Amino acid sequence: MPLVKPTTVRTGPGSETVPAGRDPFGPDSGRVSAVAGPVPADRAAGTATLLEVTDASVVLGGCAVWSAVNASVTEGEFVAILGPNGVGKSTLLKASLGLLPLASGRVRLLGRAPGEANAGVGYLPQRRSFDASLRVRGLDVVRLGVDGDRWGLPVPGRRSRQAAATVDRLVDLVGAGGYAHRPVGQLSGGEQQRLLIAQALARGPRLLMLDEPLDSLDLPNQAAVAGLISRICREEGVAVVMVAHDVNPILGYLDRVIYLGQGGAISGTPDEVITSETLTRLYGTPIEVLTASDGRLVVVGQPEAPAHHSDRHARS
């Protein structure tokens, strides 16, 4: 896999961009990290709407993926996008970021149209494993997020020192200090994912959007990365929107879920949405939600989307 470069999502004219190399959690940033202190009360209260989707529809290849979707995410929330394979979970994430066009409806991201933003949004797309021969250090993967699209040797000086301090802080935040100096191609999937999450946090975003970050991880790493994402949400005050195929690793951390079906979506708390009655209404066919002996939820009778609805069409 080629080296992952940071994805920058622009939030619009007049909005401040964190300069490359500046500590996004520094004293002049207006942001507070877990290292620096508690989350400000106005952020912790979840008063600001960061993402608002209104009557949105997406059409790919002449076929409707989903339609009339309504959802919102407020400051400090942890929200999961759920649903069966091919229903358009990743499509919703990408449409919210302005990476895919809407056929109808509206999306507002940080109060602006998607695609008009800056470092207010951190985005981690679906990933594949790094090639085992890749010699770039984990530390350098995080540094790419701090430096933006700048390549080459950094010029020594105050900005370089600030960038190095930011990288160290982010590596510590995600618990990657023990392996950040090793080649990223030699790290486990869970270790790589921690470093990529650190990269997505490099500009101090208010909203972190993650596309199946637990995919291909074993159960212990799923639990560890899920706990890390929840801690970032709670301690850093960063709202999280996360696409997930299996809700169980994150169920205890979620504030709300957006459950997609072929006819639209239902949004609410996990207890409100992940029920036999609610999912039966969404899909128009009998659905049963069971609780296994270990506490895991199992959804029985959930239909798969037709092939032309697959999220794979939405990959860019």
Question: What are the structural domains of the chain?
Answer: 41-314 (3.40.50.300)
What is the rounded average pLDDT of the residues 90-103?
Answer: 94
User: Roughly how many angstroms between the first and final C-alpha of the chain, as a whole number?
Assistant: 15
pLDDT for 86 equals 86
- For residue 308, is pLDDT > 70? no
* CA pseudo-torsion sign 292, 249, 1, 97: positive
Per-residue model confidence as pLDDT tens digits over 110-120: 998 887 765 68
pTM for this entry: 0.77
Which residues are CB-contacts of 153 (< 8 A; sequence separation ≥ 6)?
Answer: none
pLDDT band of residue 302 (cuts 50, 70, 90) is low
Per-residue model confidence as pLDDT tens digits over 269-292: 999 999 999 988 888 888 899 888
The mean pLDDT of the chain is 80
pLDDT for 263 equals 66
Over the Cα atoms of the chain, what is R_g?
19
- Asked whether 252 and 226 are in contact (CB, 8 A), the reply is no
- For residue 228, is pLDDT > 90? yes
**How far from the centroid of its chain's Cα atoms is residue 134's Cα?**
25
- CB neighbours of residue 12 within 10 Å: 16
- Asked whether 17 and 118 are in contact (CB, 8 A), the reply is yes
CA dist., res. 165 & res. 147, Å (int): 12
pLDDT band of residue 97 (cuts 50, 70, 90) is very high
Q: φ and ψ at 7, to 5 degrees?
A: -95, 125
